[in-house]
Amino acid sequence: MRAWVSIAAAFAAVVVASCPVAAQMKPDTAGIPAQAIDVQAKPIASFSKSGTPLKLARLEWRGGLVLTSPSRYFGGWSGLVLSNDGTSFVAVSDAGLWMTGELAYDATRPKGITGARIGSLLTAKGKPLNRARDRDAESISLLSGTPAKGTAYVAFEQNDRIGVFALDKNGLGKPTSYMTMPKEGVGVRSTDGIEATAVIAGGPRKGALVAFTEHPPRGEKMHRGWIWISGKPQAFVVPGIGDYGITDAAALPDGSVLIVERRFRWFDGVRIRLRLLAADAIKPGGSARGEILLQADGASEIDNLEALAVSQGPRGETVITLMSDDNYNRFLQRTLLLQFTLKERTTAQAD
């Protein structure tokens, strides 16, 4: 019975996210004033629901949280950026919101969120995004500075665009400009546009924006990707593996890029995967198949994972943070924050 409940919940998560009901569940966020909200956190002791640690070649579980809030606007988090030390953050919601705050730790384990504030995303004229299709923010990537004071790219699906937004103590301001979008178009379906972005953090293409669609074009097996060179998008591909869709991306210091992927099937529910794309494959005309770091299903503490960020731990280790989009469906879904350490390849080989 428990397995069928899990499958039913997983089915609801995916179906609700892809049908008009999802839009009805999202609150109207147009022009809400920036405001403080309370966020509660319940710790997740083990990534495995059985409590038995999973043996992961290159990942080590750090800890996780189930996040809740009395605010009706809390939820739908689809993009996340953390400061280099993993404390301050900014997230965006597909309901057209931003959230800022501080991530607190107990030693190296995430403990809770403090100082959380939310506000609505705006047009270039500083006006509210009145149409629901204009609010569908799916990814945020830091262009410069920090989440507390910097500049970020925000990618929107449905009405596909990537805006450049200023960040300061008051949150995300209005967009100052928009990136040139690919001439060939992004997605055939309105909900299959830009889903993931990252800013290359090292190597010869450092500072370049990369973006991915969630699914390959209908009938194809290659995800579309673009890298912006001198302000112009240049195409590359990511071979699809097993019908997973790309939901977010984050850059590593060596120029490689992590992507988080999600899949749903009737009899095994939701599955998620982390893939590491090599730096030398992310280039115009490239094909970035990558290395699978993690595959997980309902036996693990997962949900509709749509946000991905990279930061650095106190010993200089690379920390991967994942966050889920609950589709404002609090009866069947959760807002999770999960953290892993990415072990160096030499360390993994010695295990």
For residue 18, the SS3 value is coil
Residue type, 138: E
User: Can you tell me the distance from the alpha carbon of 15 to that of 12, in angstroms, rounded to the nearest whole number?
Assistant: 5
User: Can you tell me the distance from the alpha carbon of 170 to that of 167, in angstroms, rounded to the nearest whole number?
Assistant: 8
For the whole prediction, is pTM greater than 0.85? yes
Closest alpha carbon to 334 in 306, 308, 310, 313: 306
b/e sequence 81-90, b meaning 16+ C-beta within 10 Å:
bbbeebbbbb
**CB-CB contact of 305 with 287 (8 Å):** no
CB atoms within 10 A of CB 219: 5
One DSSP character per residue, 263-311 reads EEETTTEEEEEEEEE-GGGSSTT-B---EEEEEE-TTBS---EEEEEEE
Q: How far is CA 260 from CA 97, 144, 242, 305, 320, in A?
A: 22, 23, 14, 8, 11
User: Can you tell me the distance from the alpha carbon of 67 to that of 69, in angstroms, rounded to the nearest whole number?
Assistant: 7
Closest alpha carbon to 179 in 147, 139, 148: 139
Residue 182 has what DSSP assignment?
P
User: Can you tell me the distance from the alpha carbon of 7 to that of 17, in angstroms, rounded to the nearest whole number?
Assistant: 15
Task: Give the chain's residues under pLDDT 70.
Answer: 1-24, 185-192, 346-351
**CB-CB contact of 59 with 41 (8 Å):** no
40-92 per-position pLDDT tens digit: 999 999 999 998 888 888 999 999 999 999 999 999 999 999 999 999 999 99
Q: What is the pLDDT of residue 145?
A: 97
Q: What is the pLDDT of residue 341?
A: 98
Q: What is the pLDDT of residue 8?
A: 45
15-42 per-position pLDDT tens digit: 444 444 455 589 999 989 999 999 999 9
b/e sequence 124-134, b meaning 16+ C-beta within 10 Å:
eeeebbeebeb
Closest alpha carbon to 11 in 242, 298, 218: 298
For residue 85, the SS3 value is coil
Q: What is the pLDDT of residue 265?
A: 84
Q: What is the pLDDT of residue 267?
A: 79
Q: What is the pLDDT of residue 203?
A: 96
Residue written as tokens 């999770």?
Answer: 336
User: Can you tell me the distance from the alpha carbon of 76 to that of 25, in angstroms, rounded to the nearest whole number?
Assistant: 10
One DSSP character per residue, 33-61 reads PPEE---EEEEE--SBTTSPPP--SSEEE
Closest alpha carbon to 321 in 85, 137, 86, 39: 86
Residue 217 has what DSSP assignment?
P
User: Can you tell me the distance from the alpha carbon of 327 to that of 320, in angstroms, rounded to the nearest whole number?
Assistant: 22
The correct answer on CATH 2.115.10 for the domain covering 2-350 is yes
SS3 content of the chain, % helix, strand, coil (to 5): 10, 50, 40
Cα-based angle 133, 134, 135 (whole degrees, multiple of 5): 95
